[in-house]
Amino acid sequence: MSVSRAEVESEVRGVLDDMIEEWGEELDEPIGMETKLVEDVGFASIDFVQFAVAIEERFNAKLGFQQLLIQDGQYVQDLSVSSVLDFVEDRLNNPSKVNPDAPVEAPVPGEARLTQVDEAERVDAEKFAAFRGLIRPRSPRAADTTPKNPPVVFVLSPPRSGSTLMRVMLAGNPSLFAPPELHLLAYSDMAERHAALQNEHNNHLLEGTIRAMMQLKGLEGEAAREFAARCEAEAMPVKHFYKLLQEPLNGRLLVDKTPTYLLDKDILERAEMDFDNALYIHLQRHPLGTIRSYEESKLTRLMPLIQQSAFNTRQLAEMTWLHSHSNALAFAETIPDERWISVRYEDIVQQPDVAMRRLCAFLGIDFHPDMTNPYAEKEQRMTDGVDTASKMSGDIKFHLHQGIDPGAASRWEQFYSVDILGEPTRDMARQLGYDT
Ligand code: A3P
């Protein structure tokens, strides 16, 4: 059955409108056929990914977008709306042109490799102290005398460490329940959480708990949203909400991977207050891999406070990495060795089998081969989001990969040399065992 041009146009426009609305931005000119995605709409590389994933979802078909988006190893800079429509219409009506096995070639940098930065730009102790001052302290919690919850597994990492991939791999093990980012521990109760996250920048972070409820209770999205709204209306303590997630698991371990927990040591301490023998996976990635990924993801768009700071995106990424790992190491000092494990993203993508077996031994569960096949099954792994995969809280790039990509470990080397890192960052990298 052929798909008409009008149908393609309406869906593609719908995706663009949703994205622009989500950014809370107004365009100078309405979108027309000659509108250019980079120049006129302000697309960054991560936006191409979201755009492609959302269009494929609307038509429920893989279209091989990388052949349109990446040419001569770079994102096409002058792509217009009409060329996207031509491509989508052609692929939908000629599915044999789509090669699902074509490798996703990461674009090579158009810019020169950065090997030096001015001393004034480099992260140092003074800048780091100013950055730490930007992070708002948590509001204190009321004393709680209720018994602790059963054990839980926390995956602790700065953003852009490969935590979505790791979560989805863990979710392949039947002894674990690993939903998308839960964003619970930072709050006292569900009302406080709702008030903090229900805004244009963060409301997708409310989705992980809803997706988890859908899975556990067999609910549709709408019913799970209503359930969550009831918990928020009665200001249910977060600890109680965790219990609702843990009770139906029949001995399976709940995994909570939420990168923002490392931003504040008070949040980490709550894990010890609320759970009996919690287990911690400290996920690490080379600072420059994390920094490059952070820059490409435009994460600062979601953080207005940080956006207004005097730091550039690279400095923010570097200090987020440094701050998160400093907190992790300080917290690790207070945790018995048998409840803490450090794992590297580089090892996960280069030796997934070894890395997952090591994690299973730590968690006291049997290894399962589905763990190393993260794209195999969507529902159990909850990679589909409440409404759409492009809204899954976590890394949208996960959907552009088709398997575990070992080359992703060293991609940053095309962009940066370690000489650009500040001294405190290099110290931390050395402590984590990275060669600087
Ligand atoms: P890059 O932006 O360097 O590609 P997080 O989930 O913690 O935000 O981490 C995101 C990083 O994990 C991104 O790094 C993303 O590409 C990478 N990632 C996601 N799925 C992957 C896969 N299948 N293989 C390798 N890396 C993957």
Pocket residues for ligand 1 (CB within 6 Å)? 159-165, 289, 292-293, 296, 349, 394-395, 397-398, 401, 404-405, 408, 411
Pick 426 or 302 by higher pLDDT.
426
- Determine the 3-state secondary structure of 306 from DSSP: helix
Strand 70-71 relative to strand 74-75: parallel, antiparallel, unpaired?
antiparallel
Contacts of residue 305, defined as CB under 8 A and 6 or more positions apart, other chains included, come to 134, 136
pLDDT > 70: percent of the chain: 90
Which two tokens mark 367? 């290894």
Predicted TM-score (pTM) of this structure? 0.84
Higher pLDDT, 22 or 435: 435
Q: Could you give the percent of the chain with pLDDT greater than 90?
A: 61
What confidence score (pLDDT) does residue 1 get? 66
Mean local confidence (pLDDT), 93-107: 65
> Residue 107 — very low, low, confident or very high, per pLDDT cuts 50/70/90?
low
Taking the centre of ligand 1 as the mean of its atom positions, its distance from the CA of residue 405, in whole angstroms, is 9
Q: What is the mean pLDDT of residues 34-62?
A: 83
Residue nearest to atom 11 of ligand 1 (CA): 162
Pocket test for ligand 1, best of 47, 49, 66, 164 (most atoms within 8 A of CB): 164
Would you place residue 412 in the very low, low, confident or very high pLDDT band (cuts 50, 70, 90)? very high
Question: Which residue has the CA at smallest separation from atom 17 of ligand 1?
Answer: 162
Give the pLDDT score at 190. Answer: 97
The side-by-side arrangement of strands in the sheet containing 253-257 is 176-177, 253-257, 153-156, 279-284, 340-344
The span from the CA of 379 to the CA of 225, in Å, is 18
> What mean pLDDT value characterizes the chain?
88
Can you tell me which atom of ligand 1 is nearest the CA of 412? Answer: 3
Environment class of 335 (CB within 10 Å of its CB; exposed 0-12, middle 13-18, buried 19+): middle
| Model pLDDT, residue 20 | 85
Helix, coil or strand: residue 209: helix
Q: Which residues of 224-258 are buried (b: 16+ CB within 10 A; e: fewer)?
A: bbebbeebbeeebbbbbbbbbbbeeeeeebbbbbb
368-410 pLDDT, tens digit each: 999 999 988 778 888 876 666 556 666 767 876 778 999 999 9
* Other CB atoms within 10 Å distance of the CB of residue 196: 15
Cβ pair 380, 172 in contact under 8 A: yes
Test site for ligand 1: of 105, 291, 348, 397, most ligand atoms within 8 A of the Cβ = 397
Cα of 106 vs centre of ligand 1, distance in Å, is 12
Residue 424 has pLDDT above 90, yes or no: yes
Cα(31) to centroid of ligand 1, in Å?
31
Q: Which of 136, 139, 171 is nearest to 153 (CA)?
A: 171
Q: What is the pLDDT of residue 307?
A: 66
**Closest Cα to atom 8, ligand 1: which residue?**
160
The DSSP code for 304 is: H
Most confident of 12-21, 106-115, 203-212, 222-231: 222-231
- pLDDT tens per residue, range 158-187: 999 999 999 999 999 999 999 999 999 999
Confidence of residue 51 (pLDDT cuts 50, 70, 90): confident
